[in-house]
A and B are shown apart, each in its own frame.
Chain A
């Protein structure tokens, strides 16, 4: 079964609003990563948060990690139409294991 599960499956917001996506996972991890995918092709790495970190920022992105609850959230502030994409979390159990992806959240930002 999938290690990471994103919630919600789909999210539609107005431009300028904040978007929050959540990810839950089942086992202990080395780090957790968030990716973005446009138009069903290659994914782009957004941000990585290590298991000993609780929060990380990158531009308009804010990621939190709660290892006690085995969950993470991705916040996109002041969303733009160009943020419309699918967002996936991926868990990394160790340095020598494959990244395991969830099913993703489809974000639509309406101008």
Chain B
């Protein structure tokens, strides 16, 4: 596609359930980022991929959070045993690997844990 695509756009889940969020980056972009944003707040870094490897997982808030990227393309962020504090907008971004270009963001997935 022309831009970064995230699905679903909105997700309501019950506390304790697992959720999977998907990110389809721009074709050819080797770098992929996941961020979390609570209402009215800044972007909290979660994880970064360069190709299929994740050199920086330092932002994952707990071991309930995991992410993978396959084929240097699609990435999924999985949250196990969701808690109410996981409610936020999850944003994905991609960019070329050269590091002198801006990142392109998807529209995010709004996760609500009830």
Contacts and interface: CB of A to CB of B under 8 A. Distances in A.
Nearest to A99: B103
B103 A102 contact: no
Given A41-B108, A42-B108, A43-B105, A96 B39 contact: no
Nearest to A95: B99
Interface of A: 2, 30-31, 33, 35, 40-46, 48, 50, 88, 90, 92, 94-104
The 10 closest A-B CB pairs, nearest first, are A95-B99, A45-B102, A103-B42, A42-B105, A101-B43, A98-B48, A42-B107, A43-B105, A41-B107, A41-B108
A45 B100 contact: no
Given A42-B107, A45-B103, A96 B50 contact: yes
Contacts of B59: 98
B105 A2 contact: no
Interface residues of B, number: 31
B11 to A, nearest CB: 14
A31 to B, nearest CB: 6
Contacts of B104: 45
A42 to B, nearest CB: 4
B106 interface: yes
B42 A2 contact: yes
Nearest to A2: B42
Interface string B66-92: 000000000000000000000001010
A84 to B, nearest CB: 15
Interface in B20-35: 31, 33, 35
Contacts of B107: 41-42
